[in-house]
Amino acid sequence: MTTFAHNTGFVYVLTNPSMPDLVKIGLTSNLPEDRVKELFNTSTPTKFDIAYRAATSRYKEVEKKAHQILSAYRVNPKREFFKVDKEVAIKAVQEALITESGINGWSSPEPHNLMVGDRITLTLEEGQVFALINYNDMASIINNKADIIDLWQVYSDGDTLDIHVTNSPNHISGFSTDDPDYINDPVPYLNRDKTIKNLDINGRERLLPGERLVWIPRPNNLNQQGVIFEAQGYCQIVSRTLQIKTTIDGYPLLLNDFSYKTIWREAKLIVHQTLELDVPNYWVSRHDIIEAIGKKHPSSEYWLPQLINKR
């Protein structure tokens, strides 16, 4: 499998009937099923069961943090086994996802470049916001005049934002722009047998070359700084939620349902910083490629190559 600057892997929690008091917390750049097959050898009389899996681009950091959280329960410092219930292990991984795959885990003085081939999964917190910043036309590029064209809001801790970067506008679609195929989930399952559902999708959007996506801390969170992403390719954005929330009218809350009435200090700082950046080296007009958007419908394996059947 080709390794890119950013790639999504998994952190997992395993149980085994031969070791009822222990759980194993590990990572893999493949599917957890592939790792389980590797672990089933002559030294283990029974096969491991996958109690939990989490997709993340910070899988090494998340695994390390989960191990630190549960260090008092580690059976052997050279082994990934812990004497805790699986629910405790899952909670530790979820906590590690927030700290290592969340906004602080991506903090950087410079924008993150989203390159063709990148596959990124971010872990979100309730109340955080994303601002999509765009140069509308060549005049705005010449005058370095960017604008905020969309605002997205997170509604639950542990929700995720997937960013897949491709080389063609044919592959991407957006809900708010009513593009072809926007309603479908690009990766509905996380295993080849299609028995493990991905998190529920609550938004599908697109990012074009030259556009910037700003990850903004929720209000009054002085311990977090904003993060800037700059697209070098065509990005398919998919937001997922642990729990579908609804409006007072019973409609599902989507990524585009923005509820804040005022802007807060942390948001002002990071948005101003983004608007002050130099113009991007590569930029594509939204108007020029509109006819090409969403013309192809790639398979799940295109977006998550680990799903390709290995024989």
Question: Do the Cβ atoms of 176 and 205 come closer than 8 Å?
Answer: yes
pLDDT number for residue 279: 95
Question: Residue 2 domain-assigned?
Answer: no
Cα Rg, the chain, nearest whole Å:
20
CA 128 to chain centre: 14
- The larger pLDDT score, comparing residue 1 to residue 297, is at 297
Question: Do the Cβ atoms of 120 and 163 come closer than 8 Å?
Answer: yes
The answer to whether residue 309 scores a pLDDT higher than 60 is yes
Structural domain ending residue among the three candidates 100, 129, 164: 100
Q: How many residues does the chain have?
A: 311
pLDDT number for residue 250: 85
Question: Do the Cβ atoms of 16 and 22 come closer than 8 Å?
Answer: yes
What DSSP character marks residue 167?
S
Question: Do the Cβ atoms of 126 and 96 come closer than 8 Å?
Answer: no
pLDDT number for residue 42: 56
Question: Residue 260 domain-assigned?
Answer: yes
192 plus 67 within the same structural domain: no
What is the number of structural domains in the chain?
2
273 plus 239 within the same structural domain: yes
186 plus 242 within the same structural domain: yes
pTM here? Answer: 0.92
- What's the mean pLDDT in 137-158? 94
Structural domain ending residue among the three candidates 48, 83, 100: 100
Residues spanned by the domain of 83: 9-100
Percent of the chain with pLDDT over 90: 83
113 plus 187 within the same structural domain: yes
What DSSP character marks residue 72?
G
pLDDT number for residue 1: 36
CA 145 to chain centre: 29
Question: Do the Cβ atoms of 300 and 189 come closer than 8 Å?
Answer: yes
pLDDT number for residue 223: 86
Structural domain ending residue among the three candidates 78, 100, 122: 100
202 plus 74 within the same structural domain: no
